Amino acid sequence: MNSLKQISDYYSVNNEVNWDQIIDDYTLYINSIINNMAYNLSIEDKEEILLDTFFVLWKNQNNIIYSLNSYIIGITKNLIREKIKKKKFTYNIEDYENTLSDLEANIDLTERAEIIAIEKLFKQFKKIDFNIVNMFYYSSKSIKQIAAELNISEGNVKTRLHRIRKKIKKELKVGGKNE
């Protein structure tokens, strides 16, 4: 059944296309294509694709150049792709409101836990380390300025900042728990 003549001979009765026969022969085949390509679509969407495939076939019956089988596969795949594209952008944000608020609450809890852990860590710092962090991060002073104000070397400031960052990083990884 590769040529148009064979297709029309096989599916014609009194020079009319026997659409009932085509539908009977191809429904299961089209459904298997739909189920393999669009398993996440609803049953209604799948039925719509099936019906649209036969509608497009009927509408373009005079344009079939190659095998009917290939033509039906092409129509079905194109309809599936169109349906999936449309579905990607039709999510309703209201469906996810509770999820978003739960996520925000969890983020807030995580941030609060990190802040508490850092505050606890700051209380353990020596006064000079606390001053270095404060001057560097909150007062935006350069290492050279900090060294001059605290009367220590620039290398000492860099070393202390490195150790402080390391302690903070370790504290955040552990989540405020002591190892």
Q: Is residue 179 a part of any domain in this protein?
A: no
The answer to whether residues 80 and 116 belong to one domain is: no
pLDDT of residue 161: 92
Coil, strand, or helix at residue 26?
Answer: helix
Q: Is the same domain home to 79 and 133?
A: no
CA distances from 138 to 11, 109, 133, 150, 157 (A): 82, 24, 7, 16, 15
Listed ranges 27-41, 62-76, 86-100; the one with the highest mean pLDDT:
27-41
Query: 154-174 vs 143-150: helix axis angle to the nearest 10?
Result: 110
Average pLDDT of the segment spanning 47-59: 89
What percent of the chain shows pLDDT beyond 90? 17
| Residue 61's CATH number | 1.10.1740
pLDDT (average), residues 23-35: 88
Same domain, 76 and 125: no
pLDDT tier, 170 (very low <50, low <70, confident <90, very high otherwise): confident
pLDDT > 70 in the chain, percent: 77
Residue after which a domain boundary falls, among 60, 88, 116? 88
Domain count, the chain: 2
Average pLDDT over residues 29-45: 86
DSSP string, 45-111: HHHHHHHHHHHHHHHTGGG--S-HHHHHHHHHHHHHHHHHHHHHT---GGGGHHHHHHHHHHHHHHH
**pLDDT bucket at 15, cuts 50 / 70 / 90:** confident
Average pLDDT over residues 26-32: 89
**What is the predicted pLDDT for the residue at 104?**
67
Place of tokens 């995580």: 110
pLDDT computed for residue 158 by the predictor: 94
Question: Does 51 have pLDDT greater than 80?
Answer: yes
Average pLDDT over the chain, rounded to an integer: 79
User: Is the pLDDT confidence value at 156 over 90?
Assistant: yes
Q: Look up tokens 């679509």; give the residue.
A: 41
Biggest alpha carbon–alpha carbon distance for the chain:
106
Expressed as residue numbers, the domain containing 154 is: 108-174
Q: Specify the DSSP class assigned to residue 6.
A: H
Is a pLDDT exceeding 60 seen at residue 69? yes
Q: Which residues contact 49 (CB under 8 A, 6 or more apart)?
A: 30, 34, 38, 41, 76, 79, 80, 83
- Cα–Cα distance between 179 and 172 in angstroms, integer? 12
Could you read off the pLDDT of 94-147 as tens digits, one per residue? 666 666 666 666 677 777 777 777 778 778 888 898 889 888 888 888 999 999
CATH number reported for the structural domain that contains residue 149 in this entry: 1.10.10.10
What pLDDT does 92 receive?
Answer: 60
